[in-house]
Protein backbone atom coordinates (compact mmCIF):
# COMPACT_ATOMS: atom_id res chain seq x y z
CA UNK A 1 0.00 0.00 0.00
CA UNK A 2 1.49 3.24 -1.10
CA UNK A 3 0.41 6.50 0.51
CA UNK A 4 0.96 10.06 -0.65
CA UNK A 5 1.44 12.27 2.39
CA UNK A 6 0.93 15.98 1.67
CA UNK A 7 2.08 18.03 4.67
CA UNK A 8 4.25 21.15 4.88
CA UNK A 9 4.85 20.99 8.64
CA UNK A 10 8.07 19.02 9.01
CA UNK A 11 7.42 17.81 12.54
CA UNK A 12 3.95 16.49 11.76
CA UNK A 13 5.13 15.09 8.44
CA UNK A 14 8.03 13.28 10.05
CA UNK A 15 5.83 11.80 12.80
CA UNK A 16 3.23 10.64 10.28
CA UNK A 17 5.88 9.15 7.97
CA UNK A 18 7.32 7.09 10.79
CA UNK A 19 3.93 5.91 12.02
CA UNK A 20 2.79 4.99 8.50
CA UNK A 21 5.98 3.05 7.78
CA UNK A 22 5.60 1.21 11.08
CA UNK A 23 2.15 0.23 9.86
CA UNK A 24 3.56 -1.27 6.65
CA UNK A 25 2.75 1.55 4.25
CA UNK A 26 5.18 2.82 1.65
CA UNK A 27 5.14 6.60 2.08
CA UNK A 28 5.90 9.35 -0.41
CA UNK A 29 5.95 12.70 1.35
CA UNK A 30 5.54 15.99 -0.50
CA UNK A 31 5.40 19.44 1.11
CA UNK A 32 3.44 21.68 -1.23
CA UNK A 33 0.22 21.56 -3.21
CA UNK A 34 1.72 21.87 -6.69
CA UNK A 35 4.05 18.91 -6.14
CA UNK A 36 1.13 16.94 -4.72
CA UNK A 37 -0.92 17.48 -7.89
CA UNK A 38 2.00 16.35 -10.04
CA UNK A 39 2.61 13.28 -7.88
CA UNK A 40 -1.05 12.30 -8.13
CA UNK A 41 -1.01 12.30 -11.93
CA UNK A 42 0.90 9.01 -11.89
CA UNK A 43 -1.87 7.16 -10.07
CA UNK A 44 0.55 5.04 -8.07
CA UNK A 45 -0.91 5.77 -4.63
CA UNK A 46 -3.66 3.82 -2.91
CA UNK A 47 -4.60 6.69 -0.58
CA UNK A 48 -3.77 10.33 0.13
CA UNK A 49 -3.38 12.20 3.42
CA UNK A 50 -3.92 15.84 2.54
CA UNK A 51 -3.19 18.92 4.61
CA UNK A 52 -5.13 22.01 3.49
CA UNK A 53 -2.89 24.95 4.43
CA UNK A 54 -0.08 24.34 1.92
CA UNK A 55 2.43 26.46 -0.01
CA UNK A 56 2.00 26.90 -3.79
CA UNK A 57 -1.52 25.41 -3.96
CA UNK A 58 -4.14 25.08 -1.26
CA UNK A 59 -5.11 21.51 -0.35
CA UNK A 60 -8.73 22.14 -1.36
CA UNK A 61 -7.57 23.13 -4.82
CA UNK A 62 -5.45 19.96 -5.02
CA UNK A 63 -8.55 17.97 -4.10
CA UNK A 64 -10.80 19.81 -6.53
CA UNK A 65 -8.43 19.23 -9.45
CA UNK A 66 -7.95 15.59 -8.49
CA UNK A 67 -11.68 14.87 -8.58
CA UNK A 68 -12.26 16.98 -11.71
CA UNK A 69 -9.70 14.74 -13.39
CA UNK A 70 -11.78 11.69 -12.45
CA UNK A 71 -9.28 10.30 -9.94
CA UNK A 72 -11.09 8.30 -7.25
CA UNK A 73 -8.14 7.60 -4.92
CA UNK A 74 -9.29 7.80 -1.26
CA UNK A 75 -8.39 11.13 0.35
CA UNK A 76 -8.34 11.91 4.05
CA UNK A 77 -8.01 15.61 4.82
CA UNK A 78 -5.82 16.36 7.84
CA UNK A 79 -6.02 19.98 8.86
CA UNK A 80 -6.24 22.53 11.64
CA UNK A 81 -9.28 24.12 9.94
CA UNK A 82 -11.95 22.92 12.31
CA UNK A 83 -15.14 24.88 11.55
CA UNK A 84 -18.22 23.00 10.40
CA UNK A 85 -18.14 25.02 7.18
CA UNK A 86 -14.57 23.86 6.50
CA UNK A 87 -15.45 20.23 7.10
CA UNK A 88 -18.51 20.41 4.89
CA UNK A 89 -16.51 22.04 2.14
CA UNK A 90 -13.73 19.45 2.39
CA UNK A 91 -16.17 16.56 2.12
CA UNK A 92 -18.13 18.27 -0.66
CA UNK A 93 -14.91 18.78 -2.62
CA UNK A 94 -14.47 15.02 -2.64
CA UNK A 95 -12.63 14.06 0.54
CA UNK A 96 -13.52 10.62 1.92
CA UNK A 97 -12.80 11.61 5.49
CA UNK A 98 -11.75 14.68 7.46
CA UNK A 99 -9.60 14.75 10.60
CA UNK A 100 -8.89 17.89 12.59
CA UNK A 101 -5.42 18.41 14.10
CA UNK A 102 -4.31 17.52 16.64
CA UNK A 103 -5.57 13.96 16.19
CA UNK A 104 -4.60 10.60 17.61
CA UNK A 105 -2.39 8.71 15.17
CA UNK A 106 -4.22 5.47 15.92
CA UNK A 107 -7.47 7.04 14.85
CA UNK A 108 -5.88 8.23 11.62
CA UNK A 109 -4.52 4.73 10.92
CA UNK A 110 -7.92 3.15 11.56
CA UNK A 111 -9.65 5.63 9.26
CA UNK A 112 -7.01 5.01 6.62
CA UNK A 113 -7.60 1.25 6.77
CA UNK A 114 -11.33 1.90 6.48
CA UNK A 115 -11.14 4.09 3.35
CA UNK A 116 -8.69 1.68 1.68
CA UNK A 117 -10.98 -1.28 2.44
CA UNK A 118 -13.96 0.54 0.97
CA UNK A 119 -11.99 1.47 -2.12
CA UNK A 120 -11.19 -2.21 -2.61
CA UNK A 121 -14.92 -3.01 -2.33
CA UNK A 122 -14.46 -4.66 1.05
CA UNK A 123 -16.15 -3.77 4.31
CA UNK A 124 -14.68 -6.51 6.52
CA UNK A 125 -11.26 -5.95 8.13
CA UNK A 126 -10.12 -9.49 7.29
CA UNK A 127 -8.61 -9.96 3.86
CA UNK A 128 -8.67 -13.58 2.66
CA UNK A 129 -8.64 -15.89 -0.36
CA UNK A 130 -10.21 -18.70 1.65
CA UNK A 131 -6.83 -20.19 2.49
CA UNK A 132 -4.63 -17.36 3.67
CA UNK A 133 -6.14 -14.56 5.74
CA UNK A 134 -4.73 -11.29 6.92
CA UNK A 135 -5.98 -9.06 9.71
CA UNK A 136 -5.32 -5.51 8.57
CA UNK A 137 -5.53 -4.04 12.06
CA UNK A 138 -3.15 -6.43 13.85
CA UNK A 139 -0.92 -7.63 10.95
CA UNK A 140 -1.63 -11.22 11.96
CA UNK A 141 -1.72 -13.73 9.11
CA UNK A 142 -3.22 -17.21 9.10
CA UNK A 143 -2.83 -20.19 6.82
CA UNK A 144 -4.27 -23.49 8.01
CA UNK A 145 -3.06 -23.99 11.55
CA UNK A 146 -0.31 -21.42 11.32
CA UNK A 147 -1.04 -17.98 12.78
CA UNK A 148 1.82 -15.53 12.80
CA UNK A 149 2.53 -11.85 13.22
CA UNK A 150 4.13 -10.45 10.10
CA UNK A 151 6.76 -7.74 9.89
CA UNK A 152 5.58 -4.47 8.33
CA UNK A 153 7.07 -5.34 4.93
CA UNK A 154 5.91 -8.94 4.96
CA UNK A 155 2.46 -7.57 5.68
CA UNK A 156 2.70 -5.09 2.79
CA UNK A 157 3.71 -7.91 0.44
CA UNK A 158 0.97 -10.33 1.45
CA UNK A 159 -1.58 -7.51 1.47
CA UNK A 160 -0.75 -6.60 -2.12
CA UNK A 161 -1.15 -10.23 -3.21
CA UNK A 162 -4.37 -10.83 -1.27
CA UNK A 163 -6.05 -7.78 -2.77
CA UNK A 164 -6.02 -9.62 -6.11
CA UNK A 165 -6.09 -13.39 -5.60
CA UNK A 166 -5.24 -15.25 -8.80
CA UNK A 167 -3.38 -12.28 -10.30
CA UNK A 168 0.36 -12.58 -10.82
CA UNK A 169 2.31 -9.63 -9.45
CA UNK A 170 5.77 -9.02 -10.86
CA UNK A 171 8.80 -8.11 -8.81
CA UNK A 172 8.51 -4.47 -9.95
CA UNK A 173 4.82 -4.32 -9.03
CA UNK A 174 5.49 -5.69 -5.58
CA UNK A 175 8.40 -3.33 -5.03
CA UNK A 176 6.22 -0.37 -6.01
CA UNK A 177 3.66 -1.30 -3.36
CA UNK A 178 6.15 -2.01 -0.59
CA UNK A 179 8.73 0.77 -0.95
CA UNK A 180 8.51 4.58 -1.20
CA UNK A 181 10.43 6.84 -3.63
CA UNK A 182 13.38 7.43 -1.37
CA UNK A 183 13.97 3.89 -0.24
CA UNK A 184 16.81 1.79 -1.55
CA UNK A 185 15.55 -1.59 -2.68
CA UNK A 186 18.02 -4.48 -2.68
CA UNK A 187 17.68 -6.66 -5.78
CA UNK A 188 16.68 -9.71 -3.71
CA UNK A 189 14.43 -7.83 -1.27
CA UNK A 190 11.19 -9.35 -2.57
CA UNK A 191 12.62 -12.90 -2.49
CA UNK A 192 13.68 -12.30 1.07
CA UNK A 193 10.16 -11.20 2.07
CA UNK A 194 8.52 -14.10 0.22
CA UNK A 195 10.84 -16.48 2.02
CA UNK A 196 9.92 -14.88 5.36
CA UNK A 197 6.17 -15.21 4.77
CA UNK A 198 6.47 -18.82 3.60
CA UNK A 199 8.54 -19.71 6.61
CA UNK A 200 5.78 -18.42 8.85
CA UNK A 201 2.70 -19.63 6.96
CA UNK A 202 3.95 -22.59 4.94
CA UNK A 203 5.35 -22.76 1.42
CA UNK A 204 1.89 -23.10 -0.17
CA UNK A 205 0.73 -19.69 1.09
CA UNK A 206 2.32 -17.90 -1.87
CA UNK A 207 2.73 -19.45 -5.29
CA UNK A 208 5.78 -18.75 -7.44
CA UNK A 209 5.02 -18.47 -11.15
CA UNK A 210 8.40 -19.09 -12.67
CA UNK A 211 9.76 -16.18 -14.68
CA UNK A 212 6.63 -14.10 -14.09
CA UNK A 213 6.09 -13.34 -10.42
CA UNK A 214 4.02 -14.43 -7.46
CA UNK A 215 0.37 -14.90 -6.57
CA UNK A 216 -2.01 -16.22 -3.97
CA UNK A 217 -4.62 -18.65 -5.25
CA UNK A 218 -8.10 -17.58 -6.23
CA UNK A 219 -10.79 -18.61 -3.73
CA UNK A 220 -12.35 -21.96 -4.72
CA1 LIG B 1 -0.09 23.17 6.70
In the DSSP assignment, the letter for residue 163 is T
Considering the domain boundaries, does residue 163 fall inside one? yes
Do both 174 and 204 map to the same domain? yes
Considering the domain boundaries, does residue 47 fall inside one? yes
How far apart, in whole angstroms, are the C-alpha atoms of residue 104 and residue 107? 5
Contacts of 206 (CB under 8 A, 6+ apart): 132, 158, 161, 194, 197, 198, 214, 215, 216
In the DSSP assignment, the letter for residue 107 is H
Tens-digit pLDDT profile for residues 156-206: 999 999 988 999 999 999 998 898 887 888 889 999 999 999 999 999 999
pLDDT of residue 163: 87
- Cα-flanking dihedrals φ and ψ of residue 29, to 5°? -110, 120
Do both 60 and 13 map to the same domain? yes
pLDDT of residue 151: 92
Do both 103 and 164 map to the same domain? no
Last residue of a domain, one of 86, 102, 119: 119
How far apart are the CA of 7 and the centre of ligand 1, in A?
6
Q: Are 57 and 13 in contact (CB under 8 A)?
A: no
How far apart are the CA of 110 and the centre of ligand 1, in A?
22
> What mean pLDDT is predicted for residues 143-160?
91
> Where in the sequence is the domain holding 163, given as residue range(s)?
126-215
Do both 27 and 106 map to the same domain? yes
Considering the domain boundaries, does residue 220 fall inside one? no
Q: 209: which strand partners?
A: 213
How far apart are the CA of 76 and the centre of ligand 1, in A?
14
Angle of CA points 209, 215, 218, to nearest 5°: 120
pLDDT of residue 205: 94
Q: Which pTM value belongs to this model?
A: 0.83
Nearest to 193 by CA among 217, 164, 161, 220: 161
Do both 132 and 200 map to the same domain? yes
Q: Which pLDDT band holds residue 144 (cuts at 50, 70, 90)?
A: confident
Considering the domain boundaries, does residue 38 fall inside one? yes
pLDDT over 90 at 8, yes or no: yes
Last residue of a domain, one of 91, 119, 147: 119
How far apart, in whole angstroms, are the C-alpha atoms of residue 197 and residue 154? 6
Do both 17 and 76 map to the same domain? yes
How far apart are the CA of 181 and the centre of ligand 1, in A?
22
How far apart are the CA of 101 and the centre of ligand 1, in A?
10
Around ion ligand 1, which residues have CB less than 5 A away?
A: 8, 51, 53
How far apart are the CA of 144 and the centre of ligand 1, in A?
47
Amino acid sequence: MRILLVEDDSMIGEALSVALKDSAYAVDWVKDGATASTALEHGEHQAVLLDLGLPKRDGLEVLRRLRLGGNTVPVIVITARDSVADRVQGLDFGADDYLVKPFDINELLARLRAVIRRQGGQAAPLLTNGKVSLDQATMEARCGDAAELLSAREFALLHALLLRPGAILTRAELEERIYGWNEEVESNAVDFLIHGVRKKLGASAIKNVRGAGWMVEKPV
